[in-house]
Each structure stands twice: as C-alpha cells, then as structure tokens.
C-alpha cells in the first residue's frame, strides 16, 4: 500500500522528499528551540522566586528572637507572603488554602538536608512550585546552627505554563510557515535538477526516432554533465557506425544492381543458346542430354536470380513504382495460377469478383511467390482463400506440410534465408518472399507468416481498399 501512495514521477518524489526534509527540519528546530526556551524560562522563574523568598526571609531573621514565639512566626510568615507555612516545634503560622500541597517528601528533604529545597508538582493540570527552607542562626564567629524554624511556601506557575504553551504554538506556526517556503524551494530545486534530465530524455527520444544529429550541450561539472557527455559520445559513435553501415549498404545495393545489369546482356545470349540446345536435346546421347538439361535448368535459375536482384535493387533504391488500375483480384489470381499450370494443384476459394485498385503485375508476383513456396516446401493440398471487407482484402495461402518451425518464423522474409541449410540448390532465388513482402508494403498492406491450426504453413496478404494512385 505504501508503494502505491509514494509518487512515481521523479519530479513528484523530489518535491515530496524536499518538502518532508524541510518541514521535519523546521519542526525539529522549532521544537528544540521551544523546549530549550521552556526549560530556561522555568529555571529562571524558579530561581527568581527562590531568590525572592530567600531575600524576604533574610530581611526579617535579624528581628527574630530565639527561641521564637507565635508572634515571631507570624512576623516571618507575613514577610514571606501568602500561601506560606512557618513551623517551630509545636508552633505553626499558616496563611493560604494551598499549603496542603506541601508534600511529605519536601518536609523530609528539608529536615535531613538542612538546606533550601524546591519541588515542582502538577495538581489537577495546574503547575506549582514548592519551596522549603530551614532558618539558621549565624554566630558572630560565623558559626551556623539550625534554629528549628522551617518555612514552606507555595507559588503558582500557571503564568509560566501559559508562556510555555505560547512558545509551543510559535513552534507550530513556524513549522506551518515553512511548508509553502519548502514547496517553493522544492519547485526551484526540482526544476534546476530535472531540466537537464528532461533535455537528456528529449535527446534520447530524438535519437530513438532516427535523428542521429541530436545532441545535448553539457552544463556545469556535476554527474548530470558527465552523463550528458557520455550520451553525446554514444550518439556520435552510433552516428559514425550508422553512416558507415549505410555507406556499405548503398555500395552493396549499387554493386548488386550493377552486376545484375551487366549480366543481362550475356544472359540474353546464353538463354538464346539454351533454347536452341533444348530443341536438340532429344537427339543427344543420355549423358549429353542430362548435361544439357542441367545447363538449361541452371540458366533459367540464373536468369530468375538476376531478375530478382534487379527488382530488389529497385525496391531498395526507392525507384519501384506502382501502375495502379482497377482489377478483379480473383481474376488476376486465377489467371496467374492458370499461366503456371497450378490450377489443378491449388484449391481456390474465392467469391465471383473483388474489384480493387492495385498493380496487377506486382499482385501476380506476390501470389506466385506464395503459391510456389507452398508447392515446393509444403505438401498438398494447397489452399488459396480470398476474402474482403469494406476496408481490406485478404489473400491466404496454406499448405498441408509440417509447417514453419519456431526458429524459422522470424527469418521467413529474410533475403537468401534457407530453413534447411542442406538444401543448397532450389528452383527459387531465395528472394521471392522478401520481394513479396516489399510489394505488399508498396500497396500499403502487409504480409505475415505463421502456421495454420492443421499444422501447415500459412501466409496472409492484407491489402487496403483505399489505395491512392501512385
């Protein structure tokens, strides 16, 4: 529960901590001052009252006769004042109703110690000072002997108690006045501390958003300044690495594009030769025919690879564009399956017609890659479902194979990724799914991979219905 009540924000925690420390310090200081002042006030009042009583007794004792009679006791009691008791053996002189407060402990202390004794008591919430003192006779030679006379008097300390209460109230008022000042100081302190923290946060957000030029100028020479310098150094290192990486990627893309472009001419010649070779392969001997067929297959694979590399280069360079027109998605898919001889191998489940504005060629490339991948690596039957809503169109391709392993799913759309490292040579280029994903994104859609409930691989293409002309 305490964790819920404690504020979570750094600013709020600083404010609360600063205010608590300031208020507690002010309360402790005020209370300590009030306690010290109260003790000093009580002590000085007690000393003043005691000195006054001693002075009054000292002024009248030279006039007393020893042994004293009742008149001498009355004279001494009158000199001390009201609420006074004077005793000598069986004689007593009393004035005041509060003398019942004189305790036996005080009488015993005066008897045994033979000196002035004071005692503070509280009766019914009212403070009192009790003073008891014996009267001694001083001989001409300075010898002091007890006279047997004892004086007890009671003094009310209510005025002193009220002054103490006033000091306590002043301490509370001082602590209360410290609260707004503490809040103001806390706001100023939190602002000065959190301002560089906020600047670091903003810089980190800009870096996370891709602004590698974001920096925070360090201020001062404290830990926050050191953190700022460290963050700037990290940003500089990341920017340098990113620039180098981007340069290498650009060089790699340019190299792939240049190589693909340079290979087109010799591949065109080689393709023409292979086509001629294909027409004469039936008349060759078995070994020669097998070699010729292998050359034909590898040449077609090389042509496909070069074409895919050029397509990837255009996608990476941002030069790939859409030729948008209104087409029947179901018709485009069916025509693509028919052209590749896949109509009998794929179960097509779709409505009669779905009109959508998109690039016909790129849709055919996506579907061909998905179905070709299912036919090569999955198991029949392969199913292709097309459905639509007012906002989107979905094309789902599933097979009945073992599905995609968990460690493969994150890399399905990586370029040249092969789930089975032993399968080094396949009819595809290793770029088909990556190209399909980029074409889906060109349309503002997406392509996802997973496994169906039956265990086979499942690819879902999502296309929006509000595609603008590009």
For residue range 86-119, what is the model confidence (pLDDT) as tens digits? 888 888 877 776 667 777 787 888 777 778 888 7
Question: Does the residue 410 lie in any domain?
Answer: yes
Residues 15 and 158 in one domain: yes
What does the pLDDT read at residue 266?
A: 78
Domain final position from 165, 186, 211: 165
CA–centroid distance for 231 within its chain: 19
pLDDT, one tens digit per residue, over 328-343 is 999 999 999 999 999 9
Q: Which residue from 86, 82, 120, 124 is spatially nearest to 103, judged by alpha carbons? A: 120
How sure is the predictor about 26, in pLDDT bands with cuts at 50, 70 and 90? low
On the question of pLDDT at 427 being above 70, the answer is no
- The CATH number of the domain holding residue 396 is 3.30.565.10
Query: What kind and span of H or E run contains 326?
Result: strand 324-328
Burial of 458 (0-12, 13-18, 19+ CB in 10 A): buried
Average per-residue pLDDT for the chain: 78
Contact in structure between 175 and 26 (CB atoms under 8 Å): yes
Average pLDDT on 239-245 reads 82
Domain final position from 115, 136, 165: 165
Domain final position from 274, 289, 315: 315
Residues 127 and 30 in one domain: yes
Q: How far apart are the first and last CA of the chain?
A: 58
What does the pLDDT read at residue 112?
A: 79
Residue 145 belongs to domain spanning: 2-165
Question: Does the residue 171 lie in any domain?
Answer: no
Residue 361 and residue 368: Cα distance in Å, rounded?
A: 10
Question: Does the residue 10 lie in any domain?
Answer: yes
How sure is the predictor about 422, in pLDDT bands with cuts at 50, 70 and 90? very low
How sure is the predictor about 1, in pLDDT bands with cuts at 50, 70 and 90? very low
- The CATH number of the domain holding residue 279 is 1.10.287
What does the pLDDT read at residue 261?
A: 66
Question: Does the residue 269 lie in any domain?
Answer: yes
Burial of 395 (0-12, 13-18, 19+ CB in 10 A): buried
pLDDT, one tens digit per residue, over 147-204 is 788 888 888 777 777 777 776 677 677 666 766 776 676 667 666 666 777 777 788 8
Query: What kind and span of H or E run contains 468?
Result: none
Question: Does the residue 328 lie in any domain?
Answer: yes
What does the pLDDT read at residue 461?
A: 96
Omega of the bond leading into 381 within 30 degrees of 0 (cis): yes
Average pLDDT on 61-68 reads 76
For residue 63, give the DSSP letter: G
Q: Looking at the 3D structure of the chain, how many domains does it have?
A: 3
How sure is the predictor about 470, in pLDDT bands with cuts at 50, 70 and 90? very low
Question: pTM of the predicted model, to two decimals?
Answer: 0.49
On the question of pLDDT at 423 being above 60, the answer is no
What does the pLDDT read at residue 19?
A: 67
């Amino acid at each position: 529960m305490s964790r819920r009540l404690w504020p979570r924000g750094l600013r709020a925690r600083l404010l609360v901590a600063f205010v608590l420390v300031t208020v507690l310090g002010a309360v402790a200081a005020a209370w300590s001052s009030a306690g010290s002042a109260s003790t000093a006030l009580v002590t000085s009042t007690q000393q003043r009252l005691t000195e006054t009583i001693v002075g009054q007794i000292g002024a009248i004792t030279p006039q007393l006769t020893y042994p004293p009679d009742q008149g001498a006791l009355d004279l001494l009691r009158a000199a001390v004042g009201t609420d006074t008791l004077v005793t000598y053996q069986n004689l007593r002189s009393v004035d005041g109703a509060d003398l019942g407060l004189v305790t036996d402990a005080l009488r015993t202390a005066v008897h045994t110690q033979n000196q002035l004794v004071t005692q503070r008591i509280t009766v019914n919430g009212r403070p009192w000072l009790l003073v008891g003192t014996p009267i001694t006779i001083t001989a001409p030679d300075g010898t002091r002997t007890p006279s047997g006379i004892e004086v007890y008097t009671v003094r009310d300390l209510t005025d002193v108690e009220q002054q103490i209460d006033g000091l306590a109230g002043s301490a509370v008022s001082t602590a209360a006045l410290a609260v707004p000042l503490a809040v103001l100081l806390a706001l100023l302190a939190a602002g000065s501390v959190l301002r560089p923290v906020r600047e670091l946060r903003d810089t980190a957000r800009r870096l996370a958003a891709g602004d590698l030029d974001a920096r925070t100028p360090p201020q001062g020479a404290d830990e926050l300044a050191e953190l700022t310098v460290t963050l700037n150094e990290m940003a500089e290192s990341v920017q340098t690495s990113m620039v180098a990486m981007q340069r290498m990627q650009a060089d790699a893309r340019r190299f792939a594009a240049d190589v693909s472009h340079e290979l087109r001419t010799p591949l065109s010649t080689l393709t023409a030769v292979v086509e001629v070779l294909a027409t004469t392969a039936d008349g060759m001997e078995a070994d020669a025919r097998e070699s010729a067929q292998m050359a034909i297959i590898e040449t077609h694979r090389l042509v496909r690879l070069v074409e895919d590399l050029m397509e990837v280069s255009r996608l990476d360079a941002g030069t790939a564009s859409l030729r948008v027109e209104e087409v029947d998605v179901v018709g485009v898919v069916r025509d693509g399956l028919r052209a590749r001889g896949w109509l009998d191998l794929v179960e097509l489940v779709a409505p009669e017609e779905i009109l959508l504005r998109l690039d016909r060629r790129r849709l055919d490339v996506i579907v061909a890659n998905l179905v070709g991948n299912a036919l090569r690596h999955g198991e029949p039957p392969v199913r292709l479902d097309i459905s639509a809503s007012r906002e989107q169109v979905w094309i789902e391709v599933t097979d009945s194979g073992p599905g995609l392993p968990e460690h493969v799913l994150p890399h399905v759309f990586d370029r040249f990724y092969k789930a089975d490292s032993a399968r080094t040579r396949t009819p595809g280029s290793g770029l088909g799914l990556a190209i399909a994903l980029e074409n889906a994104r060109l349309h503002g859609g997406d392509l996802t991979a997973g496994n169906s409930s039956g265990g086979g691989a499942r690819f879902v293409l999502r296309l929006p219905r509000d595609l603008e002309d590009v």
